[in-house]
Chain A
Amino acid sequence: MSGGTQLENANPVIFERSGERLQTAADEDEDVHDPIDDREIFDLIRSINDPEHPLSLEELNVVEQVRVKVNDAESNVGVEFTPTIPHCSMATLIGLSIKVKLLRSLPDRFKIDVHITPGTHASEDAVNKQLADKERVAAALENSSLLEVVNQCLSTRSV
């Protein structure tokens, strides 16, 4: 961390990563239909990189499996995320990264709702509103510098 700029939360608490999902015999059985479940959605977003730390959202406890709700039959997904500090200016960016990751990884039929865990951020409503607005999300992704940061969050880290 040699950058000259001061980090907002320079010394965050780090949480343990959960292991890989255990494979069951049903997973390998051709005839069984595996529904998309909470854990699967969580696995999609837990490895997203944090914009300012070399850590994943899971390690910072920004996303948790209990805050992921999915209904495969009705095709909707709800994700709540928790910024590490209430004034985190990265909250919108983190929300956008989660949203983009889900948009890229889920079938079209899903309605995706990403918002801040209630009561954990100073400007919760404003951020939620931005994330829910399809056109603003689309416009944000037209902005190449913003897209660059989002892509960096979504690229698999090569250590």
Chain B
Amino acid sequence: MVFFFLFPPQTHCPTLPPGATVSILKSLFQDVHVQSLLLADRACVYKMLINVMDTREAELKGLGADFVFGFVQSMDGERDPRNLLLAFQIAKRIIHRGYSLGKFAEELFEVTSCYFPIDFTPPPNDPHGITREELIQELREVLTGTPKFAEFLLPLIIEKLDSDVQSAKLDSLQTLAACVAWYEHKDLAGFLEGLWASLRREVFQTSSERIESAGLAALTAITSCLSRSVLSSDSEDALSIFLEMVLNDCKHHLCEPDLKLVWPTAKLLQAACSASNRASHIIVAAVMPSLIEQYNSKNQCSHRRTLLEVMQRFVQSVKSSESSENEELVLSAVCPSLCSVTFAALSETNGSLQVTAMSVLISLARQAGLLSNSQIELAVDHLARLVLSDEDDTISLAVISCAGGLAELHPTVFITNMIPRIKKVIFSESIQQDGDSAQHTQPAVRQRCLSVLAAVSIKPSVAQESTPVLLEVLGAAHSGELGFSSEEAVLACSSLKTIAERVEDTEDSGRCFHDVIVPRLLSLALQAALKGEISSAHHSPLTQEAVLSTMVGVISTACSRLQPTLAGQTAVRFVSLFLDGDVSFLPGNSFPSQIKLLANHGDSWRQSQMVCLLMGCVCSLPRTAAVPQMERLLSELEEMSCTCSHVMSYTSAAKCFAGLLNKIPAGDFLDSRLQKTMTRILSELNSADSSVRMQAFTLMIWVAKALLLRYHPTCAALTDKLFSLLDDADLGPVAADGFSLLMSDSADVLSRACHADVRIMYRQRFFSENSAKLVQGFNAAPQEKKPNYLKALSNIVNKLPKQVQVTELPALLSLLLEALTYPDQGVQLSTLSCLEPVIADPPPALIQQLEALVVRLLPLTSAPNMNVKIASLRCIHALSRFPEHEVLPFRARVLRALARPLDDKKRLVRREAVQARGEWFLLGSPGGR
């Protein structure tokens, strides 16, 4: 064996004379019985072979088939998975690098295929990290690597498919799908019948979805292999023979009266249909006419729906050919009758039938060039009718998504047909004056119309027609015509926002928002604000907070997507309006010349709250767009946020200030500006009798957030102040809530969508810098202030990503457990909600505290507040998945305690109690867990 120890260095030696490798290998194959060597030595042989294959390919190929034979002999009987991986790699190289197999193809196949299907479970604490999947993958690459194996592999697969072991079936099916990708018709020819019989059986009989889908994928692969095969003039068309067999076996199931086997059959046929254009032609021609005929002959709705769903899947699975210049479309022959079936179903009264019909419609429309213009017109007619008439929620949702899908493909029909009709209905008065019932339906119809307008506007051309309608709705709501409610105004705004988000980003759409929509919205809001000051007769809904904040959403989304030049213009316009009262760009110019929107208005909150629209614009612009008059703007915003008494106004001003601050480049300007603001905030907060402490606090929180997001060092001073405020008599609870604001994403400002400067993992950073302070503060705080700390803690921990929670939890666990015993519901609830995910995947520290946890959780299941009860029951449910030996001692106690919430007066509590108790019953019981 000395010979053997010499090998590894030799193989690495590049100076081995030509021919030496060959003779070494020859003697190795001849004189060494590899399988009687030790594990490590066998590995050595394989590694050496891999090595020489990589470096001396030409010489080895000179050996011819002898090399393959030698390898087969040396790996024959290998049992260690580590070595098998190596051996499979050698076999793969032999196959893929074109070594001559000679007459040893079968031998090579035999020696590798005896491991198929792989049945290997790595031992626990396996240091080698070899997985079953790895072995399966490697072996599969060997077996499927060459068509020369086809005659051996295919019978093997057919045999293994008969196995009772699910994993063997799955592996066989996947291997089949992989191997036919390389095969031609002649490799498959002899086995088609057997393969089809097995596949059919698997799909018909299996209870496992994975096997079913693997079987279908294999059928698709076989069909596409046959479709690829080149026809010679004398042979028959393999594809049509195969499909004829498939259809013969399957088609009658589609026609059986009770439709029992219709789904597996349909899935098989669709799998074949999706393989190639030619297969689609054959299958569709054979199946669709009879399905349509059957649909027309059935009366039961459930049968009709099933048939329609089957047809929809067929349409979906049709594969259109790539070079479809003047080729006939697969579905063109059946399209007219399919359309008439679909339209008939749309006119039925059965809701689920209508929903299915709409999905057929979408699938048909996705087949390019299939539907004629008149058919699309008809479809849109039907959709419009459903929007205007149908009450059912599921149907209107389906209509909305169907209309959206169609409008993307055929925008013109929607511009000429759908939108005018909807507009007419929205603004018609006649229905309103009808009887009682009509008055009730009207708002619902209007709501659906508004949602449809948003759904169809994906193409800019459609958006250009739909947005004026929405603006007109807002105008009418403002002037009080036609009885538009404030909910409808909100809905119109959120439709506009949806359009702003979804419309394809082009020059046109950006200009449309910049030139028309945003100025119009501003003008309406301003009119409403001014009008509200004068007359008390009609209060425009556009001064309401709900409407304004959705309007902020529209402006913010639109501004965040503007091109640089337009963005700059928009910034100039907004700033000059708010600072100088420049109304020249607003349409409907009848505004007084003296407008001071940012000045302190005393009680005229309608004007001061307009600042939120300024926030929507300047805080969302791309960072490249410069905001003019920054210094003055910031001063006025700071002034407003510190002095105004209207909540929405000073909060919006503070948010706007923070949003701008976040984007100012680091430097002297930012630092001096910050210094001024800090001084002001602190002086207000420190004077206990100041009337604007709340305002100063709001500004502080938002500034702190703006700085936290961009990792600005000044943030530390602000958070320290925030911590000290937890002891404050008035602001303590608000400060605790402030942590939630710091840690969560805000919707309208300081988010990534608004191009804010948000560093990654700012939450983790905040947590790791401050958790110690929190624990210290808690320990030092007087008893009555402790809940504030616990609340702050749970606010912070709640928002942390789970991985961080789990690693940080041990340090905080005692605090969290203590929090559970505090009577404050808010604290209990947020603590429970942060414990729940941790319990689901418990760290060892938690398991040590199990007793304390259970003792604290059980009483909460009878707490006065139902949400606390529900959350604690969920935690107890999750506890049942702890390691059995840890929780089993608590079983009796938990079961006894959970008997009480079973009789709770709230159903939601009972439901959680039932689930938790059921799991605990199963714990430690035979057949349970």
Partner of B926, one of A27, A54, A151: A151
| CB-nearest residue of chain A to B903 | A107
User: Is the pair A105, B927 in contact by a Cβ cutoff of 8 Å?
Assistant: no
Binds B, one of A33-41, A57-65, A125-133: A33-41
Please state if B205 and A33 are interface contacts (CB–CB under 8 Å).
Answer: no
Which stretch from A76-84, A87-95, A111-119, A142-150 is at the chain B interface?
A142-150
**What does DSSP make chain B's interface, helix, strand, loop or mixed?**
helix
- Number of residues of chain B lying within 8 A (CB) of chain A: 28
A61 → B minimal CB distance (Å): 14
Bound-state Cα–Cα, A159 to B209, Å: 10
Cβ-based interface call for B197 (8 A): no
Q: Which chain A residues in 133-159 approach chain B with CB under 8 Å? A: 144-145, 147-152, 154-156, 159
- CB–CB B926/A28 < 8 A: no
* CB within 8 Å of B: which A17-44 residues: 23, 27-28, 30, 32-34, 36, 40, 43-44
B866 adjacent to chain A (CB < 8 Å): yes
- Whether A34 and B907, one on each chain, are in contact in the complex, defined by CB atoms closer than 8 angstroms, is yes
Q: Cβ of B906: which chain A residues have Cβ within 8 Å of it?
A: 27, 30, 32-34
A107–B899 CB distance below 8 A: yes
Q: Are B902 and A105 in contact, CB atoms less than 8 angstroms apart?
A: yes
The docked-state distance in angstroms from the alpha carbon of A154 to that of B918 is 8
B197-213 vs A, CB cutoff 8 Å, 1 = contact: the mask equals 00000000101010000
The contact of B927 among A27, A101, A147, A156, by CB within 8 Å, is A147
Give the distance in Å from the alpha carbon of A104 to the alpha carbon of B865 in the complex. 24
Asked if A1 lies at the interface with its beta carbon under 8 angstroms from chain B, I say yes
Contact check: which of B205, B260, B914, B928 meets A1 at CB < 8 Å? Answer: B205
Q: Which residues of B contact A154 (CB under 8 A)?
A: 918, 921-922
Residues of B within 8 A of A40 (CB): 907, 910
Which A residues are in CB contact (< 8 Å) with B164?
Answer: 2
Kindly identify which residue among A28, A32, A109, A145 contacts B903, using a CB–CB cutoff of 8 Å.
A109
A151 interface neighbour in B905, B908, B910, B922, Cβ under 8 Å: B922
* Range for the number of chain A residues in contact with chain B: 20 to 34
- Say which residue of A27, A108, A144 sits within 8 Å of B908 (CB atoms): A27
Bound CA span A54–B209, Å: 12
Question: In the complex, how many angstroms separate the beta carbon of B191 from the nearest chain A beta carbon?
Answer: 23
**In contact, A36 and B926 (Cβ under 8 angstroms):** no
Q: Are B926 and A30 in contact (CB under 8 A)?
A: no
Known: A33-B905, A104-B918, A104-B921. A151 touches B865 (CB 8 A): no
* Alpha-carbon distance between A40 and B922 when the two chains are bound, in angstroms: 21
Q: Which residue of A lies closest to B209 (CB)?
A: A159
CB-CB under 8 A from A34, the residues of chain B are 905-907
Q: CB distance A151 to B899 under 8 Å?
A: no
CB-nearest residue of chain A relative to B302?
A: A16
- Decide: A147 near B918, CB < 8 A? Known: A106-B902, A107-B899, A109-B903: no
CB-CB under 8 A for A149 and B927, given A30-B866, A107-B902? yes
Q: Is the CB of B918 within 8 A of A1?
A: no
Cα–Cα, bound, A43→B918 (Å): 14
The answer, among A32, A108, A144, for a CB contact under 8 Å with B899, is: A108
Q: How far, in whole Å, are A33 and B911 apart by their CA atoms in the complex? A: 14
Q: Which of B207, B917, B925, B929 contacts A105 (CB 8 A)?
A: B917
Say how far B829's CB is from chain A's closest CB, in angstroms: 13
Interface residues of B in 887-929 (CB under 8 A from A): 899, 902-903, 905-908, 910-911, 914, 917-919, 921-922, 925-929
Contacts of A107 in B (CB 8 A): 899, 902-903
Contact of B927 with A151 in the complex, beta carbons under 8 Å: yes
A151 with B928: CB separation less than 8 A: yes
* B206 CB → nearest A CB, Å: 8
* CA of A43 to CA of B925, assembled, Å: 24
Of A30, A33, A105, A155, the residue contacting B922 (CB under 8 A) is: A155
* B contact residues around A101 at 8 Å (CB): 918
Query: Residue among B166, B917, B921 with the most chain A CB within 10 A?
Result: B921
Instruction: List residues of chain B with CB within 8 A of the CB of A28.
Output: 866, 908
Contacts of B899 in A (CB 8 A): 107-108
**Residue on B nearest A30 in the bound complex, by CB:** B866
Question: What CA separation (Å) do A148 and B914 show in the bound complex?
Answer: 20
Provide the bound-state CA to CA distance between A147 and B207, in Å: 25
Whether B927 lies near A148 (C-beta < 8 A) is yes
Contact of A150 among B902, B903, B905, B927 (CB under 8 A): B927
With A1-B207, A104-B921 given, is the CB distance from A152 to B927 under 8 Å?
A: yes
Bound complex: CA of A105 vs CA of B911, how far in Å?
9
- CB of A150, distance to nearest CB on chain B (Å): 7
CB pair A104–B917 under 8 Å, yes or no, is yes
Which residues of A sit under 8 angstroms from B903, Cβ to Cβ? 107, 109
Q: How far is the CA of A106 from the CA of B910 in the complex (A)?
A: 9
User: In the assembled complex, which residues on chain B have CB atoms less than 8 Å from the CB atom of A145?
Assistant: 926
A32 to chain B, nearest CB (A): 8
A20 CB to nearest B CB, Å: 10
A38 to B928 CA separation, bound complex (whole angstroms): 27
**Is A144 within 8 A of B926, CB to CB?**
yes
Is A27 a contact of B907 with CB atoms below 8 Å? Answer: yes
Contact A54 B927 (CB under 8 A): no
Nearest chain-A residue to B902 (Cβ)?
Answer: A107
B residues less than 8 Å from A104 (CB atoms): 914, 917-918, 921
Could you say which of A28, A104, A154 has the most chain B C-beta atoms within 10 Å of its C-beta? A104
Report Cα–Cα, A55/B769, bound state, in Å.
Answer: 53
Minimum Cβ distance to chain A for residue B920 (Å): 9
Q: How distant is A13 from chain B, measured CB to nearest CB, in Å?
A: 8
Question: What residue of chain A has the Cβ atom nearest to residue B207's Cβ?
Answer: A54
Given A40-B907, A105-B914: A30 in contact with B865 (beta carbons within 8 A): yes
Q: Of residues 4 to 33 in B, which have CB atoms within 8 Å of A's CB atoms?
A: none
Which residue from chain A places its CB closest to the CB of B164 in the assembled complex? A2
Q: From residue A76, how far is it (CB to closest CB) to chain B in Å?
A: 14
Chain B 31-51, CB-CB to A under 8 Å as 1, else 0, gives 000000000000000000000
Q: A30-B906, A104-B914 are in contact. List 6 more A-B contacts (CB 8 A).
A: A36-B907, A40-B910, A105-B917, A105-B918, A148-B927, A156-B919
Binding site for A on B (CB under 8 A): 164, 166, 205, 207, 209, 260, 865-866, 899, 902-903, 905-908, 910-911, 914, 917-919, 921-922, 925-929
Q: In the A-B complex, list the 10 residue pairs whose CB atoms are closest, starting with the nearest.
A: A148-B927, A107-B903, A151-B927, A148-B926, A34-B907, A2-B164, A105-B914, A33-B905, A151-B928, A152-B927
Q: What are 10 sample pairs from A and B whose C-beta atoms fall under 8 A apart? A: A2-B166, A27-B906, A33-B905, A34-B905, A101-B918, A145-B926, A148-B927, A151-B921, A151-B922, A154-B918
